Structure 1
């Protein structure tokens, strides 16, 4: 039996290092679960913070079980890992819907110049100014500066604009066949006047209300699913397994080797990450404005953007690599890698998190634009919002490319 606080007579083994790391994560899980129960379902920020810590602990345990599977009892780890992934995913949905709504409403305010109230989890409405959240008491509003008309894209005349109810601008997948045109884009055989900012402000309020209704409904359902999951027999079985993990880690015979035996397994996780990054179009992502990729993002296919999937996979592999690196850094008397590598991984991870958030926000705007019987002004605002979030996707890819390639050149 591997114990968390042990004083081995001989040198540390790979199993000792792995057991201590997993037991620490299991202790964090149990502590977060206790805080979540103390906060209660209506605990507000305390409950949300405890749920976030619970998710982080579950992800780290699951990632460690995945990377160092040969060192652990295979049947036990294969049974626990998917259960932890289920728990983490279930708890993450409510938080994701709330953040997505705030992101989209903030973008609507920035694009339209009309303050769109952003609902905060405590129930207080917070308007947005200059892309940032400014708390105002009593539900007051702070006027946002109106962007110049040249910054507001409009559909080319004759491309579906002005159609009946339910018509949408061309940037909304599945609706319209025109192209977005802005001032100062040069000759390209696609002329078109630029609409005033008021055209976007006209539909921003209704677009915001539609997004709030849809995403709040999804968030409420996710909250109910999370509460149901936390009270289920399935969750209690997971909690019991983690509680046992805090005192005993089922190890395989390979864990009796020296701590250096952990290195090749962590290296495999790094190799998988490098292979996935090598498949990304980093050369194309190295351009600050990538019109070709943006056009691909405005496809009429309502399915998730296929071009986003490789980036999401890199994000998951990067997380596994970081968790494996945490295990290696816990090896006694080990000389950790330079701080630059850890900083690089964190910066790259933040860029990929931004990519995921913007991609999902764009998908939410696209889904809202497919709502039947919405007005053309509402569809127009949602189209501009969708295009804006696809621009954010490209900006995140550019940021990741800059971090990754620059650090590789330094090495």
Structure 2
């Protein structure tokens, strides 16, 4: 007897609800083990996002009032738990960038999730079973670190710089030997650490308050019920292949329309400085520039979750594209944090200058991620039947 749409959907949601409940138990049992707490919170966020996204995509098959209510509560929980992690990772990203830009640490190799997203050697191994193309050598033309580090090389007198070669005593090698930050960079790092640590503390308090609230306990009770039963509509009794494919196709069409609206033609050219447009404008202008890319990231996530329901044993859909858009989001938010810090009243000119360089560096990371996304998306479209 063929599996019905309700059975297939219930199987997926039951599994995600079980993951949610196990993560919640691990979170409560972790105590002072910060690593276990962070891992449990991450699993809670992932399960919440998957349940919420699935309820959104397959809403026509469910009780609409129940699906909308639980989806909204899970979105609130996921956003609340994500803030502390976001502040922690953003601070680490910015401090690492300051150290790198000051010459206190060597340039990092190409990130693993960005390798293979640009044209590579024909003899190279594929970066991922689901995508074409091989890894790119660090520093090669078109590689992720070459794209993101163009401004750094020019500033350090490397290839592409108009300043000409510089001796080790005067250049970046001498600064790396000392391992010390410049005064402006050190003060900028201290300012960022104060601001983001305060934000992280507030986010941690908000997460603890949320996890102890009656609102969260109501969400946990609803997910516990979801682990065993799912309120379905009448259409859920139809065959799974026919009924589930329509909402999944709708999610895919929305993704394709959002990607078509992106300026992928400009993103195909490295060093086009599109990410620096409106870099010194108001916050609303920056958000308008990044918002379409963030929307594509969310729609890609919904598409992936829908494909997990339809094909539970298949490889992750567009895994590399999702990783690149995550990097894009992280770099854009880090650039915003640097800009906010630069607006702090009465800071020294050297500190403001360091924050401005840091902001430009993160916007170049944004541009590199857009270039990489254009590459992997183009290959995916070519490989699609």
Whether these two folds match at TM > 0.5 is: yes
Is contact 1:106-1:131 (8 Å) kept? no
The equivalent residue for 1:245 is 226
1:59 paired residue among 39, 49, 63: 49
1:176-255 pair list within 5 angstroms: 183-184=161-162, 201-255=182-236
Deviation, 1:358, is 0.2
Cα gap change, 1:29 to 1:375, in 2 (>3 Å): same
The equivalent residue for 1:4 is none
**Aligned equivalents of 1:17, 1:387: Cα separation in 2:** 48
Is contact 1:153-1:384 (8 Å) kept? no
1:9-408 pair list within 5 angstroms: 10-40=1-31, 42-114=32-104, 129-131=106-108, 151-152=154-155, 183-184=161-162, 201-260=182-241, 261-291=243-273, 293-303=274-284, 304-330=286-312, 339=315, 342=316, 345-408=318-381
Is contact 1:33-1:50 (8 Å) kept? yes
TM-score of the aligned structures, taking structure 2 as reference length:
0.81
Cα gap change, 1:295 to 1:47, in 2 (>3 Å): closer
**Aligned equivalents of 2:152, 2:270: Cα separation in 1:** 22
Deviation, 1:150, is 6.3
Q: What's the Cα RMSD here?
A: 2.4
Deviation, 1:20, is 1.1
For structure 1, the 5+ residue unaligned runs are 1-9, 115-127, 133-146, 155-181, 187-194, 331-335
The equivalent residue for 1:163 is none
**Aligned equivalents of 1:74, 1:409: Cα separation in 2:** 38
Of stretches 104-113 and 198-207 in structure 1, the one that deviates more from structure 2 is: 198-207
Is contact 2:156-2:171 (8 Å) kept? no
TM-score of the aligned structures, taking structure 1 as reference length:
0.76
Cα gap change, 1:20 to 1:402, in 2 (>3 Å): same
Is contact 1:107-1:385 (8 Å) kept? yes
Q: Which runs of 4+ in 1 moved over 4 A?
A: 147-150, 195-200
**Aligned equivalents of 1:362, 1:130: Cα separation in 2:** 19
Is contact 2:6-2:61 (8 Å) kept? yes
**Aligned equivalents of 1:373, 1:61: Cα separation in 2:** 47
**Aligned equivalents of 2:231, 2:69: Cα separation in 1:** 12
Structure holding more helix per residue? 2
Deviations 1:129-159 (A, max 9, x none): 5348xxxxxxxxxxxxxx99963289xxxxx
Deviation, 1:12, is 1.7
Number of equivalences: 329
